[in-house]
Amino acid sequence: MQVTVVQGDITVQDVDAVVNAANRRMRGGGGVDGAIHAAGGPEVLEDCRRRFPDGLATGAAGWTTAGRMPARWVIHVVGPNWNRGERDRSLLVSCYTGALAVADELGARSVAFPLVSAGVYGWPREDAIRAAIDTLRATPTGVEEARIVAYGRSALDEVASALGD
């Protein structure tokens, strides 16, 4: 699988699936989650309510429609919240392995990922980048491209540098 990085808005990526860094309730929120719900429209929230009436556990993954976004699916993952003491790295890693497993179930060949937990959840960015890249590279999958979408220039530069390691 090819792991790439771009700077931009995850909601406009021309991929089969986008990964949402969701909260446990699965009802929308801030950051990537809010952007995906806003861009996808009410269809995403309706599908979340129908498919995940009790939400998702930290580290878990599941899918919904992408609604009005160019992607076909949203793969929702619930990353650990560093700021609330959730510091088990295996939960962060499971977001990436779980997303790839869901992508394989769906037949998705291209998937756009945010840096899960590296925003408002406060996971140290350098470790979040390393967890993402190492897990994406090491996990057997039918996905052909895992695209990390960096929101800002500094994140883009850090991911690009780590990909070169």
The pTM of this model reads 0.97
Give the other-Cβ count within 10 Å of 32's Cβ.
26
Reference 21, options 66, 46, 58, 73; nearest CA is 58
Q: Residues with catalytic annotation?
A: 33
**pLDDT score at 132:** 98
Question: How far is CA 101 from each of CA 23, 31, 120, rounded to the nearest angstrom?
Answer: 19, 24, 25
Question: What are the residue ranges in the chain where pLDDT is below 70?
Answer: 165
pLDDT of residue 165: 67
- For each of the domains in the chain, give its residue range(s) and CATH number, in order of start: 2-163 (3.40.220.10)
